């Protein structure tokens, strides 16, 4: 009896696979796997990435480079082990052609090796650690975002140019927090009022705010991503310090936190490679289409994912949908023959972008929503400072 049933099952499976093979014979669909953070408090960032990529895909009629595309989204839960197993499953089981991920640098570190060693292209739509920008740059890894330090460096440059004499610095007590202060200092030569490190996930900034208030600096530089930024901005404003000093920040006031910060963040400065009001071809249309579809203001995370999809679209079209010739595909990605929403975009020798960077300012729009807006351009066609350590040439 058992053999009888398994015989049926087997023949059914064979028949099914024969049908599938016939279906694929014409053109094999392009498979793109995405790994972003979609749970926990930072889920808003991953959601922006997923929605940005999906929007591009929808606008392209579900096709990248004219090829039917299967888009698989996975949640890394902000846990390195989960990210690793999801990446392995995408590469080994799903056999995707491209992995797009991640939001956080430590997640990228977790999935990097299994993806690139299987000769699968890995494109980061946000995380841009220095780790893979210098000596460890890789022919299978691209970033469409920025190198993490650049936003901090631009704020330091701005503080220097603006002639701030006394800057107070505050960051969470972990690697990225310390990097932010180092990045800022690399361009700022003025006096440092004080430099304080708070626990990661800090709740009550009253003690820090009292110190800032007592130090009377010209400007505050801070890096408080996610919920920390929401709390800090709120408390900073309530303490009445917003009128006394410039608020320079990176990843602290952006489209993912502004829905909670609202009026309290108005006039605060951020840093980035893009803003919803950037005047480039197609940008206004992108923002309008995104808001129409998802009901919230896109941030740089959404833009970078959208650009990633458009980059892939151009590259896949260039190789005529042939995903098997990796060298040709790499050359096509390197060419970056697409119109980026941020205007000029090309890849540096380390596969990180060369692009403009701007000081951003939080503003309230006429419809009552909040967004960052371009205040001034700080870096023009800027590559990162690690590219020279990368041995890759092309």
Partner 1 sequence: MSTTLVLVQILNGLQLGILLFLIAAGLTLVFGVMGFINLAHGVQYMVGAYFAVAFYGLTGNFLAAMLLALASALVLGLLLEFLVFRHLYDRDHLDQVLATFGIILFLNQATTVIWGPAPLIIPQPEFLSGSIPLTDGLLYPVYRLAIIAAGLAVAALLWFIVTRTRLGMLVRAGATNPDMVSALGVDVRRLFMLVFGFGAMLAGFAGVLSAPIFSVEPGMGDNLLIVAFVVIIVGGIGSIRGSFIAALLIGLVDTLGRSLMTDILKLFMDASSANQIGPALASMLIYVLMAAILFFRPTGLFAVGRAT
The separation between CA 201 and the C-alpha centre of its own chain, rounded to angstroms, equals: 21
- Give the interface with partner 1 as residue ranges (CB under 8 A): 39-44, 173, 195-199, 201, 203-204, 206-208, 210-211, 213-214, 216, 226-227, 230-231, 234-235, 238-241, 256-257, 259-262
Q: Among residues 209 and 310, whose Cβ is nearest to partner 1?
A: 209
Strand order across the 121-124 sheet = 63-64, 67-75, 30-36, 98-101, 121-124, 141-143
Q: Among residues 141 and 296, whose Cβ is nearest to partner 1?
A: 296
Q: Among residues 114 and 177, whose Cβ is nearest to partner 1?
A: 177
Q: Is 221 left (phi over 0), alpha (psi -120 to 50) or beta?
A: beta
Smallest gap from residue 263 Cβ to partner 1 (A): 8
Q: Is 384 left (phi over 0), alpha (psi -120 to 50) or beta?
A: beta
How many of the other CB atoms lie within 10 Å of CB of 260?
Answer: 16
Smallest gap from residue 359 Cβ to partner 1 (A): 25
Smallest gap from residue 264 Cβ to partner 1 (A): 8
Smallest gap from residue 22 Cβ to partner 1 (A): 42
The separation between CA 160 and the C-alpha centre of its own chain, rounded to angstroms, equals: 27
**DSSP conformational letter for 130:** G
Q: Among residues 73 and 239, whose Cβ is nearest to partner 1?
A: 239
Q: Among residues 140 and 296, whose Cβ is nearest to partner 1?
A: 296
Radius of gyration of the chain (CA): 23
Smallest gap from residue 175 Cβ to partner 1 (A): 13
Q: Check if the beta carbon of residue 222 is closer than 8 Å to that of residue 171.
A: yes
């Amino acid at each position: 009896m058992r053999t009888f049933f398994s015989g049926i099952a087997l023949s059914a499976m064979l028949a099914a696979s024969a049908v599938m093979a016939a279906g694929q014979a014409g053109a094999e669909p392009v498979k793109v796997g995405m790994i972003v953070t979609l749970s926990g408090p930072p889920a808003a960032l991953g959601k922006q990435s997923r929605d940005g990529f999906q929007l591009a895909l929808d606008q392209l009629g579900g096709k990248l480079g004219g090829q039917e595309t299967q888009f698989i989204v996975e949640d890394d839960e902000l846990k390195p082990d989960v990210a690793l197993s999801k990446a392995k499953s995408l590469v080994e089981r799903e056999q995707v052609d491209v992995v797009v991920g991640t939001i956080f640098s430590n997640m990228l570190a977790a999935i990097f090796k299994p993806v690139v060693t299987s000769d699968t292209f890995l494109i980061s739509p946000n995380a841009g650690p220095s780790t893979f920008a210098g000596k460890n740059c890789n022919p299978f890894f691209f970033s469409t975002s920025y190198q993490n330090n650049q936003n901090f460096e631009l704020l330091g440059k701005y503080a220097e140019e603006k002639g701030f004499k006394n800057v107070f610095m505050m960051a969470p007590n972990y690697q990225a927090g310390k990097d932010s202060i180092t990045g800022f200092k690399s361009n700022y030569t003025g006096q440092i009022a004080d430099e304080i490190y708070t626990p990661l996930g800090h709740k009550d900034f009253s003690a820090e705010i009292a110190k800032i208030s007592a130090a009377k600096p010209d400007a505050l530089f801070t890096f408080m991503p996610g919920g920390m930024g929401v709390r800090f901005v709120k408390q900073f404003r309530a303490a009445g310090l917003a009128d006394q000093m410039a608020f320079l920040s990176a990843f602290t006031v952006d489209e993912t936190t502004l829905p909670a910060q609202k009026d309290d963040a108005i006039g605060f400065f951020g840093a980035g490679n893009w803003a919803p009001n950037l005047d480039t071809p197609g940008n206004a249309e992108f923002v309008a289409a995104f808001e129409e579809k998802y009901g919230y203001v896109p941030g740089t995370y959404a833009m970078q994912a959208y650009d990633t999809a458009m980059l892939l679209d151009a590259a896949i079209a260039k190789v005529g949908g042939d995903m098997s010739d990796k060298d040709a595909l790499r050359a096509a990605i390197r060419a970056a023959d697409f119109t980026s929403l941020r205007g000029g975009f090309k890849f540096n020798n380390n596969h990180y972008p060369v692009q403009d960077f701007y000081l951003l300012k939080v503003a309230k729009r006429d419809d009552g929503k909040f967004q960052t807006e371009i205040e001034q351009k700080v870096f023009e066609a800027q590559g990162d400072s690690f590219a020279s350590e990368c041995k890759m040439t092309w």
